[in-house]
């Protein structure tokens, strides 16, 4: 780290659009964000956080409408080219998208609702950033409009969920129906989880593909290969999620229709039967 910033911008970052949703491919969702901070960073910030403070922070976050909270170090490859972040660790936040957004057909009304959700999470993100600053920690808020980082992969690394075929984050609490933001912090002892309990989602989505079929603009194309896993290519220029608030890929996702645990239990049973059948055939 140089000059208090994560100096990853000097390294090569993969610009592939495979498995990258609209906010991660710089499609320009919403408008440029405005810094809504009310408290400046402390001149001599603390770097160690007490366990009871984390609990207080999470309780406050939930009280203002944040659904899930995760913690991670920020890998260089998740920082978009040309950007830099001030601190190497992140608190990742999700907020539920109102069902009204999903139920409204693409168009001006849907886009207005979608933009409002981004703005709402942005305000909550700055409130939480100020809460941390007020208690002696240094922060940099990343509004969900911003293209500083790839939000869905960052949330996956923070153990909040897994990324589906659409490139969107899928969580146990909300399926694919959420907005994501982050706060970069100087805190050195965040409760970072090391396990990846949501890795099965990728395997499940490989066998589904309903989001691809649901896209009216064919912004997602599945490429099939004989000797390696299929890949999904996302074309941000074709996606109308930003221009018209389209959410068909979310609406058709089984994780938005059924409980996370229900899907996982059925998937586990199916895999167990396949394994049993393979053993019998050997």
Q: Encode pLDDT of 198-244 as tens digits.
A: 999 999 998 898 999 999 999 988 887 777 777 888 888 899 888 89
What beta strand segments (E) does the chain contain? 68-73, 89-96, 139-142, 162-163, 169-170, 178-185, 220-223, 231-234
The pTM score is 0.86
5: confidence class by pLDDT, cuts 50, 70, 90: low
Q: Encode pLDDT of 57-75 as tens digits.
A: 999 999 999 999 999 999 9
pLDDT of residue 69: 98
pLDDT of residue 23: 42
**Has residue 182 got a pLDDT over 80?**
yes
- At 98 the three-state DSSP class reads coil
Are 151 and 144 a contacting pair, CB within 8 Å? yes
Are 211 and 253 a contacting pair, CB within 8 Å? yes
Q: Crossing angle of helices 51-63/108-134, nearest 10°?
A: 150
Residue 106 phi, psi (nearest 5): -55, 135
| 265 class by beta-carbon count within 10 Å (0-12 exposed, 13-18 middle, 19+ buried) | exposed
Q: Encode pLDDT of 106-126 as tens digits.
A: 999 999 999 999 999 999 999
Q: What is the mean pLDDT of residues 5-29?
A: 44
pLDDT of residue 84: 93
Q: Which residue has the higher pLDDT, 132 or 281?
A: 132
Are 150 and 20 a contacting pair, CB within 8 Å? yes
Domain ranges of the chain: 1-282
% of the chain beyond a pLDDT of 70: 89
pLDDT of residue 275: 87
Mean pLDDT for the chain overall: 88
> How far is Cα 251 from Cα 218, in angstroms, rounded to an integer?
16
pLDDT of residue 224: 78
195: confidence class by pLDDT, cuts 50, 70, 90: confident
Query: Nearest-5° angle of CA 99, CA 30, CA 91?
Result: 75
């Amino acid at each position: 780290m140089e000059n208090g910033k994560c100096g990853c911008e000097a390294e090569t970052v993969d610009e592939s659009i495979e498995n990258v949703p609209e906010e991660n491919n710089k499609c320009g969702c919403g408008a440029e964000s405005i810094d809504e901070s009310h408290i400046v960073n402390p001149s001599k910030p603390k770097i160690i956080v007490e366990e009871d403070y984390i609990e207080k922070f999470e309780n406050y976050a939930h009280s203002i409408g944040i659904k899930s909270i995760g913690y991670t170090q920020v890998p260089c490859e998740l920082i978009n080219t040309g950007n830099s972040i001030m601190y190497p660790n992140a608190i990742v936040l999700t907020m539920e998208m109102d069902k009204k957004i999903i139920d409204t057909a693409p168009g001006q009304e849907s886009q207005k609702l979608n933009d409002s959700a981004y703005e709402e999470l942005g305000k909550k993100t700055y409130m939480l950033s100020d809460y941390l600053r007020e208690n002696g920690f240094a922060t940099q808020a990343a509004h969900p409009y911003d293209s500083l980082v790839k939000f869905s992969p960052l949330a996956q690394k923070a153990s909040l969920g897994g990324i589906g075929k659409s490139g969107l984050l899928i969580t146990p609490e909300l399926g694919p129906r959420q907005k994501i933001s982050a706060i970069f912090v100087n805190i050195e002892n965040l409760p970072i989880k090391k396990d990846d309990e949501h890795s099965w989602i990728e395997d499940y989505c490989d066998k589904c593909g309903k989001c691809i079929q649901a896209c009216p603009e064919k912004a997602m194309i599945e490429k099939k290969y004989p000797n390696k896993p299929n890949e999904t290519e996302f074309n941000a220029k074709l996606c109308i999620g930003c221009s018209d608030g389209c959410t068909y890929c979310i609406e058709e996702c089984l994780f938005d229709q059924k409980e996370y645990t229900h899907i996982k239990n059925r998937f586990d049973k199916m895999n167990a039967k396949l394994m049993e059948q393979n053993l019998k055939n050997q």
